[in-house]
Every structure is written in C-alpha cells, then in structure tokens.
Amino acid sequence: MIGVVGLLEDVHKTAKMHFAKAGRKIVLLRASEPGDAVDAELEFGSSEYAKEILGALWGYPPELDIEKEATLQRALVAIIRAGLVESAHDCADGGLAVALVESALPGGVGLSVRLPGQQLAPEFLLFGEDASRVVLSCDPIHLPRIKQVAEEYGVFADVLGETGSDRAEISVDGQAVISASVQELRDAYEGALERALRAEPGVAAAD
C-alpha cells in the first residue's frame, strides 16, 4: 500500500472523478496508439474480465511506458489547471467500460458512447486494460482547446460521445453492446460485496 500526500494550491483548479451533468463531451486522453489484434488478445489475458468472467489467465500484462505515462499526466494537469474539464477518471481494472460506468454512478448521469471497431473483438475494446488512458468530460466549447493541449504534449484526445439521460449506452461499430440504466449498474456495483458475503456460508457448507 502506497499513500501519497500533496499540496493543492488552488482548490478551484480540480476535476471530480464523476460526470457532473448532461450535455458534456466524453473524451479519452491516451498516450499511445492501440496495439494490433494479436497484442490485444495476449494482453487481454491479464484483465479482470479474463479472470472473473472467462475464468482463465494467459499472455502478459499491457506494457507501461513510464515516459509516455509521465507525458500524459503532464498534459492532464495542464488541462485541469486551465479549467477545461469537469471530470477525469483513469482507466484501470476493468478497462474503458468500467471507467465510463464508474464516472456515471456518483451523479447518476448517463452516457452515450460510440466506439470504432478497430478490427478488435468488442470485449478487447471495452474491458482491455491498456495503460496510460484517462476518461474526461467537458463542456463542448472547451473541446478544441483540449485537443490543442493534447497535440502540444504529443498525446491523443478521442471524442467518445456525450453524457446525458439515466442510461449507459455503448456501441461498437454502430452495434449496441452495453445498454442499462445507471440505477441497474449502481445496484450491481454497490451490492457486489454484500452478495459475496451472503454467498460465503453456502460455500463453507459445501466444503
């Protein structure tokens, strides 16, 4: 366990982790180009999806380029300090889909996201855990400036969709792959520990 303490000189120059309101653009800030299908499959084997849903592990974890990660963080700090974004959430365990949903849950603000297929399986796009990626939300008027800052730092800013309604809708190549109400997702997310604890006696009895 590592704890980090810092000094925030201006509390107004911050970004929450969750979507603030509807009508905001959703942007993926990333440091690298996505890998090809072979790399994606090998790296997917170390993901939470592979472990929990498929029940198997294979391949190797996604590579972390420290220099690119540092560049991404510098770009992110510059964007936040300029007051260009309302929220920022890293893509970590569970990948992009989990980061999007976690951004929606606290405020109950839904999302509509459209992803290009990139000749990859939808599971790789949604739940692959590529490093150095952050989900942002912003007022549409700030989008040109965010893209400009990203270009200045040599990172990428992909517009994924927008916030709104009370549902999480994600499509890949025009095909809906995730469609659920934010409340349904919140119930599943917040009730996971309780369900796991409730299941323990049965497991013990079976043993």
pLDDT single digits (tens) 18-56: 999 999 999 999 998 877 788 899 999 999 999 999 999
| Structure confidence at residue 11 (pLDDT) | 84
Provide the token pair at 14: 């911050």
Residues facing 169 on adjacent strands: 112, 179
For the chain, how many residues are written?
207
pLDDT above 90 covers a percentage of the chain that reads: 78
Q: Is 97 within 8 Å of 170 (Cβ atoms)?
A: yes
- Produce one character per residue of 29-43: b if its CB has 16 or more CB atoms within 10 Å, e if not: bbbbebbeeebbbeb
182-190 vs 95-104: helix axis angle to the nearest 10?
Answer: 100
The strand pair at 133-138 and 25-30 is best described as: antiparallel
Cβ atoms within 10 Å of 78's Cβ, excluding its own: 15
pLDDT band (50, 70, 90) for residue 207? very low
pLDDT band (50, 70, 90) for residue 200? low
| Structure confidence at residue 199 (pLDDT) | 73
Q: Is 140 within 8 Å of 2 (Cβ atoms)?
A: no
Separation CA 33–CA 118 (nearest Å)? 11
Kindly tell me if the per-residue pLDDT of 206 is higher than 80.
no
Over its C-alpha atoms, the chain yields an Rg (Å, rounded) of 18
Kindly tell me if the per-residue pLDDT of 204 is higher than 50.
no
Arithmetic mean of pLDDT over the chain: 92
pLDDT band (50, 70, 90) for residue 78? very high
pLDDT band (50, 70, 90) for residue 201? low
What is residue 134's three-state secondary structure?
A: strand
Q: Which candidate, 100, 115, 129, places its Cα nearest to that of 35?
A: 129
pLDDT above 70 covers a percentage of the chain that reads: 96
| Structure confidence at residue 194 (pLDDT) | 83
Q: Which residues contact 123 (CB under 8 A, 6 or more apart)?
A: 44, 49
Delineate the domains of the chain, giving CATH numbers in brackets: 25-206 (3.90.650.10)
The string of pLDDT tens digits covering residues 53-70 is 999 999 999 999 999 999
Cβ atoms within 10 Å of 126's Cβ, excluding its own: 21
| Structure confidence at residue 202 (pLDDT) | 54
Q: Give the phi and the psi of residue 119 in degrees, each rounded to 5.
A: 55, 35
Q: Which candidate, 10, 17, 27, places its Cα nearest to that of 82?
A: 10
The string of pLDDT tens digits covering residues 111-151 is 999 999 888 899 999 999 999 999 999 999 999 999 999 99
pTM above 0.95, yes or no: no
Kindly tell me if the per-residue pLDDT of 80 is higher than 50.
yes
Provide the token pair at 122: 């939808």
Cα 102 to the chain's mean position, in Å? 8
Q: What is the mean pLDDT of residues 170-195?
A: 92
Provide the token pair at 6: 């810092």
